[in-house]
Structure 1
């Protein structure tokens, strides 16, 4: 029995070391093809980044994000949780600087408004509780900096952008996780004269996805889940921290007959849970192609 307990403890220590030192920094680019464009449209390359959780000292992550510009996307979408510290705005801007050369848009996440704070991991397995917030973060200044750099703030905004010479309808909301989303401010049928209609939100709550689907959006982009952050090997996420199913906590899925949604597993972790297991940090290059 003693040997068995020793072996279990050693395996646990090894998994913790792997998750906190190796996999947490094993950044990767995922690629998916999404058949959502109107017939005859030229393919669009959309870089989806989320949950960067940037702090000033994460130089390896900063450099990797800068290197994403080599993908030459037609459009960049950031689905929130960009900040993780009050002094991180300069680091965010340095990290994203090469990507500001491309059309882009963003929405906020819950950790853009409030700094992470220690939590009992067991609370994620019980019924939802009232959130306790950390210190406020300077999200208005962060949003202003990205807007000044050329990206669109989609917080309760409907607009049409141009990407690769084509009209792309974009509609975003504030963060559903903090109950700040007010879909009624942007509700209504999606623009019919765009080649694609994209909804953007932070937390992939089923009610929000249903609202976008009813308004005939083709694709919704979200983050927040970290893909589960710790997953069963070759299996689903353990928790999602939102209403989406554990089996759909990351990557591309259908919502109904006409709408897809993509959840990025994100590039960061909270400072109090610096581990990833069977869930590498990621950005995603989505190639949008015409529907068959």
Structure 2
């Protein structure tokens, strides 16, 4: 018996439903960036995780770990909001258990760690796994004979909940410790403060927090709403540049209560590469951004 053909108009509802499901419940993606700099001679690869919140990627975070390990980063940056607000941070502990034996890890707090009152306990957990906790200080990441400087600040909420150095003091401390001849990376949770970062002349700033604006229309709308930026945020996710400073904003890993529409959860891979002598212009190719610093 011949198979019955399905009329195209009858297939449209099924296709629309499938597209809708994929738009609202997208799979994890790896987004890649390339930064070209004359300050380095050896390629560095950084993986960036942000805004995990209470999310799981398979038992033991196996899906996320499998994808990340495949990229073979030289270091991992955790850009804040990396655990649940109230429940035990089992999802974060599972992640650190596997990552800490493989890579140098650098962490800054996000607003949720501080507002929930769990900032100290999360930092203690990080230190337990040998993670570098950055709160106005810097670390050096070495590869062969080359090195880059990783700086970091707490989330600005620290000013309202703690009596230590203010957020601005932390930022200035990082800037003062910056070595001019070394490529510098500032890790900070908040992208909407880009103008402050650019004044300090860091080469690269890495942020999270905005969750990609939650709803995206690729090529038309880069985010509908982001915390601390409101509707139609200017820094919801992607690559930005101001003067000599580049900023890359992760759209984050959270996939819990609020649907993400055309906005898949992501982790980042940033390749910092030696710049060719004759290259002077930034280039954009698909999801990869080449920017000369």
- TM-score, normalisation: structure 2: 0.75
Query: What residue number does 1:223 align with?
Result: 208
Q: Secondary structure at the match of 1:169?
A: strand
Instruction: Return the TM-score normalized by structure 1.
Output: 0.75
- Asked if 2 retains the 8 angstrom alpha-carbon contact of 1:86 and 1:137, the reply is no
1:167–1:194 contact (8 Å) kept in structure 2: no
CA contact (8 A) 1:156 1:183 kept: no
Contact 1:48 1:285 in 2 (8 A): yes
Greater strand percent: which structure? 2
Cα-to-partner distance string for 1:188-238 (whole Å, 9 max, x where unaligned): 4452355311111111123xx223222221000000011112113532211
Report the secondary structure of 1:205's partner residue: helix
Alignment of 1:86-235 (within 5 A): 86-100=86-100, 101-114=102-115, 136-157=116-137, 159-165=138-144, 166-176=146-156, 182-187=167-172, 188-189=175-176, 191-192=178-179, 195-206=182-193, 209-235=194-220
Using the alignment, how far apart are the partners of 1:162 and 1:203 within structure 2? 23
Greater shift, 210-219 or 83-92, is seen at: 83-92
Deviations 1:100-119 (A, max 9, x none): 121121111112234xxxxx
Instruction: Specify every segment of 5 or more residues in structure 2 that has no aligned partner in the other structure, as ranges.
Output: 1-13, 161-165, 280-293
Q: Following TM superposition, by how much is the alpha carbon of 1:278 offset from its aligned partner in structure 2, in angstroms?
A: 0.9
Deviating more after overlay: 88-97 vs 277-286: 88-97
CA shift at 1:148, angstroms? 2.2
Q: Which residue pairs with 1:35 in the alignment?
A: 36
Deviation, 1:164, is 1.8
SS in 1 for 2:225: coil
In 2, Cα distance between the equivalents of 1:217 and 1:276? 31
Give the number of aligned pairs.
252
- Paired position in structure 1 for 2:4: none
Deviations 1:137-165 (A, max 9, x none): 533122111122121111222x2312323
Measure, in 1, the Cα distance between the counterparts of 2:109 and 2:42. 30
Larger Rg: 2
Cα distance change, pair 61–80 in 1 and its aligned pair in 2 (3 A) = farther
Q: How does 1:66-77 map to 2 (within 5 A)?
A: 66-67=65-66, 68-77=68-77
Task: Output the CA distance in 2 between the equivalents of 1:96 and 1:146.
Answer: 8
Cα 1:54–1:179 change in 2 (3 A) is: same
What is the aligned partner in structure 1 of residue 64 from structure 2?
65
Between the aligned partners of 2:218 and 2:201, the Cα distance in structure 1 is: 36
- Listed as ranges, the gaps of 5+ residues in structure 1 are 1-9, 115-135
Mapped contact 1:109–1:175 kept (Cα < 8 A): yes
Whether the 8 Å contact between 1:177 and 1:242 is mirrored in structure 2 is no
